[in-house]
Structure 1
Amino acid sequence: MGQDLFVGPSDRPDKYRLVRLEGSGGEASLWRAEVDLAGESETVAVKALRPEHQDDLARISARWAEQAELLRFVTHPGVVAVREHFEGIPPHPGGAPADTATERALYLVMNWVPGPTLRDWLLLHPGREGTVAGLGVLEQVAEALEMLHSGRVTPSGRCVVHGDLSPGNVVVTDDDRAVLVDFGQVRLSSHQTVTPAATPGYAAPEVWTRGEYSPAADRFGFAALGFFVLVGTPPPADPDDVADQLFAHPFLHNTPDALRERILDGFGADPSRRPGPRAWLQSLRGGASTSARTFDAVPRPRAAVTDSRGPRDAPRTRVVTASPPRPPAHDAGDVERRLAACHEGPGELVRLALTTGVWEVERSWWTPCFSGRSYHVRLRDRQGHDWVAVEMLLDRDGASRLVWADGAGGEMTECLEELADWLAPC
């Protein structure tokens, strides 16, 4: 076992023992840590500035200090609590003299929130029941956001903006309580930034183009969370004409018009016209109570997102893991119907391709990732080991071709070749 490492302010350099690195992003790393309080060990989260940003320490320190002070005004079960912010020496073995270190590091300490992120929680709750429960989680997020936006949490009455809503920044506890974490872009609504830093697909267009963070930008991010819960894939990362991109999104291709319009309301280009989180969520349900029609109208298979980033920090590359349906039974006219359906667009094409029987090959499944013009899919075994990577290239008319890397053999190759032949006439 390696030597324990510690961090802390200058007067207590060994205050926090680093237990495990939970995630690392462009600006900071997130550690699970422990602190001794009244003779007992308590778990906390320690956000540490990455060493490559030391040249910008003063500016980032001022921003983190402002964030910490701002969040100290917030006392709400749906918002993570901040404990302290300090500069100290880099992670070090216990007992290292703090006054001999020449390098300085920046830290933000928050309460530890046990539980998976919303992204991982949905993997544990697949299918229609997971969608219903996921929207229940979003009800709590909506309540926390509207409290932040209300102005009731600051003495001046100004509203607080989260600034980086994403599935990785919502933690679901064991008792299904949703907590907003990673307030890396939190600010008062009157503030702006010329250096946007948010999660692609979840940040409003005005964040990318004008660096404007506002409650309306959070409302966009909340709609993106709702889209993720309903559909299982992030909204398009390109901030230009998001609503138009979503209108043509494969997983909304066959969604009823009324439901699709209600979903798109949250992504409007005019920030002033985006509904509040609870109003938007209520509109999806068609009233005060949960409507089964809302969930039954969403195309399946439902997918949930995993990615290569740690639980709570910074940009990431997403891979969408779909829960596989059983292959349909094929009758004599099935091939003709499937080929005709190919011409309806990329969404129908891919959804049909994923139900051609590939699911059952050697107990495997697809993990598709839509990039806008192609689906990159990776075949995995049930332990998650990669077997073969496949790319399904789509053009604007829905035509496609299938490409896969060497490594598939036997029955797998035969299946892929059959799928490629099936797609060719489209």
Structure 2
Amino acid sequence: MALTPSDIELTLEPVRRLLRALGDPHEAIPPAIHVAGTNGKGSTLAMIRAGLESRGEACHGYNSPHLVRLHENIRLRGRPIAEPALAGLLNECIAANDGAGISVFEATTVAAFLGFSRSEADWTLLEVGLGGEGDATNVLSAPALTAITPISFDHEMYLGPTLAEIATHKAGIMRRGVPCVVAEQQPEALDAIEAHAAKIGAPLHVAGRDWMCWFENGRIVFQDANGMLDLPAPSLGGAHQAQNAGTAVAALRLLGADEAACAAALTGARWPARMQPIAAADLPGLPADAEVWLDGGHNPAAGEALAAHMAVLNARRPAPLHLVCGMLETKDPEAFLRPFAGQATHVSGVTILGAAATQPGEAIAAAARRAGLPADPAPSLDAAFEAVSEAGGPAPRVLICGSLYLAGDVLRRIGWEG
């Protein structure tokens, strides 16, 4: 089996070929909810899963990328697949593929479909890996529901330089006659989504037109044609989670969920490395009184959302904000960090150890300075933590951000296992 872990080709042929060789297991999985978008896919699916599970319904799930170990990506009936079981599925894929070229992500996706087809559940929750139209997950002829979370610039080298092109790729998960929930979008992206939906005959449920969701008095208010819901705030932090919550609740309402399930969706969701609090005591080198947050967001829209949430936290308890930021070569650290200008006290640009495509800490620090932030390079997380400690002053707020690979390094240190 010729695995090409770093090659990205947005074509479905390798996946379809291997699925055929295995008897098309993707046609025998439980009803699927397929989610694409730039930001919020994982959080939205985590909320949908919490809502469905609150009704006693079992959910398979497929997300990417993994944070610590590959088996995190595949959930059978709500639990990460056992590593021996995943190894067995991958070995079946290797044998059936008969030496043809296929990427690690494509092979893992087929292994997930194979596992889902052999385990009973009520639902299959699928997160697109990259784009939509040519993504390895996009082989289902008739999912039960699709959703598109907010679209912004990311992966332009594969999806195109405009929001319209990016949105058209992501709209490729829609199917004729299958409802699609659409989160709030920039006009250019929404125009492309609506054009594709009209072309193929997919009914849309669009934020701001068919449903609305907002924070009010510390709670979530959701409204659609069926009425208004007064719901608890999401367990996942950040004002941006209102849109993710709205997308999840809109999807659940289309699936017949009641108010109790919608409330459980918001309070029961858990999603690592998305505004995840970390105990400073678990990260030696940081001040014992540090308030630590971990987030894997890595594009400009994620930077804006994170900076806004840090401002909210600072209004509640003023504290010097230290960013520990590492990013891959395909990302734009200056655009990501620019929203923190005037807010962050210091940026440590981190080289992500073990990630072949990491930007060196010097490049991150230089980008931060261009964005108007004081910054220095750090060759490792340990060096970055030491810089925070040496800064002294009142109890700091530390945001570790910029990459899911960096987030995975942190989670490994604290013994997180999925």
Structure 2 length-normalised TM = 0.28
Q: Of the two, which has the highest radius of gyration?
A: 1
Q: Which has the higher contact order (CA 8 A, sep 6+)?
A: 2
